[in-house]
Amino acid sequence: EAQVTQNPRYLITVTGKKLTVTCSQNMNHEYMSWYRQDPGLGLRQIYYSMNVEVTDKGDVPEGYKVSRKEKRNFPLILESPSPNQTSLYFCASRDTGTRGYEQYFGPGTRLTVT
């Protein structure tokens, strides 16, 4: 089954404690992306990657890091989480070969930073 998986689904942590949210896709997609979803603000892109070893900032990259060492994985790293990073996070992937291809989303990770 074609899917994007994220782990963990729920995470409660404290300020300053480094954490990683994993993302994996099994569709051989080149493009992968991270979003955060906050009430009233919709979806905002954090980082994206066009292919292995190619990453770039989205609209709200401050406080986040990513890496793309393998095509299927795109982890999101919070080196020193702060309460304003409490949010719902989504990973997504899509093909870049043809116009109009849909973006597949993971189930989401709800992060609370106290």
| Positions that interact with other proteins (CB under 8 A) | 4, 33, 40-43, 45, 48, 50, 58, 90, 92, 94-103, 105-108
Distance CA 98, CA 67 (A): 25
Decide whether 76 or 79 has the Cβ nearer to other proteins: 76
- Closest distance of CB 70 from other proteins, Å: 21
- Alpha-carbon distance 71 to 61, whole Å? 21
Answer for the pair 42, 48: CB distance below 8 angstroms, yes or no.
Answer: no
Contact yes or no for 58/49 (Cβ under 8 A): no
Q: Which is nearer to other proteins, 11 or 14 (CB)?
A: 11
Q: Which is nearer to other proteins, 73 or 95 (CB)?
A: 95
